[in-house]
Amino acid sequence: MSLPMADVPQHERPRERLVAQGVEALSERELLALIVRNGLRGQSALDLASSLLAEYGGLAPLASARPEELARRSGIGIAKAAALVAAFQLGRLAATYVAEGSGLKGPEDVFQAVCSQLDHQRRERVIVLVCDAGNRLRRTEAVAEGSIDRSALPVREILNCVLRHDGRAFAVAHNHPSGDPTPSEADVLATRALAAAAKVVGLRFLDHVVVAGQRWERISS
């Protein structure tokens, strides 16, 4: 039988452990429990966190769940679903800010800058990496999200994004939810079209990387 949080010894509760020992001491289950705050009748926040992790198969798949999907689950609802999605997005943004300011020297750097934003995405997403004249990353921005199978590479939106943020160079990345990073023929053709359009408006096109989990492939322009 589940032990209500009020009956858990104070020094074992996630909030008190975080204050006393630091956030690094908490498990994924405890961190999730702090976000959902409370469980159901007969089920503590820790129990709810455990069931979420088990249902989705771990933290990474849970992080890609859509808010409406989470909200339908018993014990979650709209408020908790929003809190969970917001927490995961903050983590992605923090990872992006760490990368910003560093120079993009090749496709590996492109992958490192976007992997946290594309990993475990269920739909294809196109991300633009806006750089200055020295190829230093200024910001990343998602410009398109498509179906489960594919997302078109929106040339005009990509170039507008770079120009809007005063970029001088840029790279592009998108994911393959199938798990295979091999570029499609459409990916290759779209990359060539993007490279040609970038020259017309005076921008340097650096790279296009296809991401699938922790694997990636570069598309040559």
Looking at residue 95, its pLDDT comes to 64
Assess whether 119 and 189 both reside in one domain: yes
Same domain membership, residue 177 and residue 87: no
When pLDDT is averaged across residues 107-113 and rounded to a whole number, the result is: 91
**Domain endpoint, select from 74, 95, 116:** 95
Regarding whether 12 and 83 lie in a shared domain, the answer is: yes
| Maximum pairwise Cα distance, the chain | 68
Half-sphere exposure of 126 (CA within 13 A, CB side): 25
Q: Is the pLDDT of residue 148 over 70?
A: no
> Is residue 53 domain-shared with residue 146, that is, in the same domain?
no
CA distance 119 to 176: 10
**Which of 186, 210, 190 minimizes the C-alpha distance to 198?**
190
pLDDT grade, residue 1 (50/70/90)?
very low
Please check whether residues 119 and 210 belong to one and the same domain.
yes
Total count of domains within the chain: 2
Q: Please give the residue range of the domain that contains residue 177.
A: 101-218
Residue of higher predicted confidence among 213 and 216: 216
For 71-202, strand residue ranges (E) read 125-131, 137-145, 169-175
Task: Characterise 29 by phi-psi region: left (phi > 0), alpha (psi -120 to 50), beta (else).
Answer: alpha
Query: Does residue 58 sit in the same domain as residue 139?
Result: no
For the stretch 29-40, pLDDT in tens is 999 999 988 887
DSSP state of 24: G
Whether residue 56 has pLDDT greater than 50? yes
Is residue 114 located within the same domain as residue 167?
yes
pTM of the model: 0.62
Same-domain check for residues 107 and 211: yes
| 87 shares its domain with 131 | no
49 and 67 together in one domain: yes
Domain CATH number, residue 206: 3.40.140.10
150 pLDDT above the threshold of 80: no
- Percentage of residues in the chain with pLDDT exceeding 90? 44
- Sheet with 204-212, strands from edge to edge, namely 137-145, 125-131, 169-175, 204-212, 215-218
Give the pLDDT score at 192.
Answer: 94
28, 61, 95 - which closes a domain: 95
105, 190: one domain: yes
Q: What is the CATH number of the domain that holds 14?
A: 1.10.150
Q: Which of 50, 65, 95 is the last residue of a domain?
A: 95
pLDDT tens column, 68-86: 999 998 889 999 999 999 9
* Same domain for 196 and 119: yes
Residue 211 CB contacts under 8 Å (≥ 6 apart), including other chains: 111, 114, 115, 118, 119, 173, 174, 175, 176, 181
